[in-house]
Structure formats: C-alpha cells, structure tokens
Amino acid sequence: MRNKNHPEAEFEEGSGNVFADLGLEDGDELFTRSKIGFHVYKILKAKKLPQREIAALLGIKQPEASHLMNGHFSRFTTDKLLDFLKRLERKVTIRISRHKPGEPYQEIGVEKKKGSG
C-alpha cells in the first residue's frame, strides 16, 4: 500500500562493481585491487598475526600493514597485492578470454577448498 507522505523509493541495480557504478575512470582496476586485497586480508586475519609480523612476512613497513588490514587496498598496486599472495604461498591463475557485452572486463574468483560447499 502506498503512503502519499512517503513516496516509493527509486533504486538502480548495481553492476557489481561499485567503483564503475560511481563513474570512476579506473573502476575496473580499483575493483580488481579490492578483490585481491580482500583475499590477502582474509588469509592474514586467519593467521592472527600482529601487524609487525604481517609486515615482515609481506616485506613491507608496519604502517603499510596497517593500511592493508584496514582495507585501504587502493594504496597497493595489483602487482604488489599479487606479490603478497605469493609470499602467503598462494597460487594465482590468470585466464584470458573474449569479453562479452554486459560482463565485467576483470573478474577475480577464489577456488573453494575441496570438500566445502
């Protein structure tokens, strides 16, 4: 039932890339870095290491570890984030295919552990 004092809210469905939806020129790159950075963050969070140990493990300074653990992934290049995954003993696979209309240009996926949903 519609209330004339409260008009129905309008919304627009997002593309799945908030950076592109905001019209940022480098939206695909920012989205890629945020996805990779989040995976680095999850791995480090599971290790329950203090930031100085995270910094030593990743070969960065403690303030950079703080930025990483606070989700400031855009401070790091894609190459640097991929290097972090290497230092965390993770394999990264890049697959190149033709782009289809309506799909993102860059996708990041994580392989699930065998035996998990």
Residues 30-63 pLDDT 10s: 888 999 999 999 999 999 999 999 999 999 999 9
pLDDT value at residue 109:
75
pLDDT score at 112:
72
Indicate whether 72 belongs to any domain.
Answer: yes
* In a domain? residue 94: no
| CATH at 51 | 1.10.260.40
Please report the pLDDT score of residue 62 as a whole number. 97
The residue ranking higher by pLDDT, 42 or 28, is: 42
Neighbouring residues of 29: CB distance < 8 A, sequence distance ≥ 6 = 78, 106
Q: Which residue range(s) make up the domain with 61?
A: 25-87
In a domain, 52, yes or no: yes
The pTM is what?
0.75
Question: What are 64-74's pLDDT values in tens digits?
Answer: 999 999 999 98
Query: Does 38 reside within a domain?
Result: yes
96 occurs within a structural domain: no
In a domain, 107, yes or no: no
Q: Is 76 inside a domain boundary? A: yes
Task: Give a yes or no: residue 37 inside a domain.
Answer: yes
Number of independent structural domains in the chain:
1
